[in-house]
Amino acid sequence: MTNHEQDSQVYQCEPSTSGSWQTITGRQSEVGGITVSRTLPTRNRRMIGPWVFLDHLGPVRFSAGQQGLQVGPHPHTCLQTFTWMLQGQIRHRDSLGSDQILRPGEVNLMTAGWGIAHTEESVPAKHAIDLESLQLWLAMPASQAAAAPDFQHYAQLPVLLQHGWQGQVLLGEFSGQQAPGQAYTPTVAVDWQLPASSTGVLPLNPAFEYGVYVISGRVQLDHQPLAARTLGYLPPGQQQVELQALEESRVLLLGGAPFSEPVTLWWNYVGHSKAYISAAQADWERGSGRFGEIPNPVAEPMAGPPVPWAPQK
């Protein structure tokens, strides 16, 4: 997915040095009639481990024959896009030649490194379709800023059963189960489906900070209420957390070692300097070949807003 913000703020993401419990409420916006709720980055919380971006798209119902989602070619650098479908299907195409339909229960992990471009579009259907997904970005360390781009699709992910809860390990390792995707700093993501009135304790890595994002339902996290579309932040140092589902709920547990380098996020780029991002945008604008091309894209390439800082020498 893409950052549609026309004002496209610059976020300086500093490594976490200390922290306390936070509740982050998503900023709701509408993009082409689709509700998008963004909980990262926000003013008070820029990163959780390497995770710098969390958008919840939909749910939205497209009637039969409607075009649906059509996101034209746009660039990314120095980040990994991580897409988790909740309902419906999205077709991903990128400048490496990948062409992949993503369904619920599967992960697309695209590594931008030095640069990649991609498109995302609804899959045509003869009936109405509900579309809902989570789109996350992981910052890549400076050592990977010039890495070759890559795209991976994972249809098989480890399943966990704990406290009568079903979990799916989407990235990293949880309770001895290792997901296949590769991140560049220690991290974890687990999707949990919680029956109503269930309670359990999840083991945590005290070296990690965590976010618990409520996809749907209503939970209590260590006795703190957390509504749908909010993110609870847990600082490093916790051995475990108690999670109670007040109704049938679905949550995404995100975590990682606090990122050790400051990063800058602007539009669809992550970088370790403004000069790197300015150069990336200049390369995209003049079609330098850095990002490659996607034949017959679903929509026009996105130009992107002007870089909001003065040129740097």
Residues of this chain that bind Mn ion (CB under 5 A):
2
- Interatomic CA distance for residues 149 and 116, integer angstroms: 6
Q: Select 90 or 253, whichever has its Cβ closest to Mn ion.
A: 90
Question: Under a CB-based contact definition with an 8 Å cutoff, are residues 79 and 51 in contact?
Answer: no
If the CB atoms of residues 140 and 228 are measured against Mn ion, the closer one turns out to be 140
Q: What are phi and psi of 222, to 5 degrees?
A: 45, 45
Could you give the CA distance from residue 79 to residue 141 in angstroms, rounded to a whole number? 9
The structure tokens 């549609």 sit at 4
Q: Rounded to the nearest whole angstrom, what is the least distance from the CB of residue 1 to Mn ion in the complex?
A: 5
Token code pair at residue 161 = 């059963």
CB of residue 221 to Mn ion, shortest distance in Å: 30
**DSSP string computed for 205-255:** -TT-EEEEEEEESEEEETTEEEETTEEEEE-TT-SEEEEEESSSEEEEEEE
CB nearer to Mn ion: pick between 2 and 187: 2
CA distance 311 to 164: 56
Contact (Cβ atoms closer than 8 angstroms) between residue 194 and residue 251 = yes
For the chain, first and last CA: distance in Å?
Answer: 32
Longest dimension (CA), the chain: 59
Radius of gyration for the alpha carbons in the chain, expressed in angstroms and rounded: 19
